[in-house]
Amino acid sequence: MQEILATESKLAKIFQFSERKVREYFKSARVSPGKYNFIQAVEIFVEKNSGQDEVSELKRAEKELKEYKLQILKKEYHHESDVVRIVSNMNYNFKSKLMALPSKISVQLLNKENQLEVKEILKKAIYEVLEELVDYKYEERRGIEEDDTGKTHDTSD
């Protein structure tokens, strides 16, 4: 097999090392001063760096987890069950308001013959319900809660 030689400066450029680091890192691939067996240098690089990606990926994942937990503590994120409960409650309240509209405004519409007047009464009632939806404020759940591990604990004071 033919030996492919690379200069110290070429290896430094390829691996983004300083020439001094190339001399230290690829010591065993050195053929002569300033000349290195390129294939052997690549093998050394791969061997020394295998596992580094996994370690850096693990560190990144741990950092993201810590940031996520901090955001939960700062109440920037909410547990999925809380979001589902809040949206369900909001939808239930909205549906109840809509279902109550006919009986609420039927008395007002009883003797109205002017279509424009009927339209304005309906429009006003619908906007009131929609405003309540926009201004919806959820109340934080008290009592028994589930944490990230699935364990339940009492949050009542």
- What's the one-letter identity of residue 127? Y
Tokens found for residue 154: 């009492």
Q: What is the pTM of this model?
A: 0.43
DSSP single-letter state for residue 2 = P
State the number of CA atoms in the 13 A half-sphere of 150 facing the CB. Answer: 0
In terms of Cα–Cα distance, which of 120, 97, 98 is closest to 108? 120
Q: Give φ, ψ of 96 to 5 degrees.
A: -60, -45
- Structure letter (DSSP) for residue 18: -
pLDDT tens string, the chain, 157 residues long: the values are 578 888 999 999 988 999 899 888 888 889 999 899 998 899 888 888 776 667 777 888 899 899 888 887 887 777 788 888 888 988 898 899 899 999 888 888 888 888 999 899 999 999 988 888 888 776 665 554 555 555 554 554 4
**Cα gap 130→132, rounded to integer Å:** 5
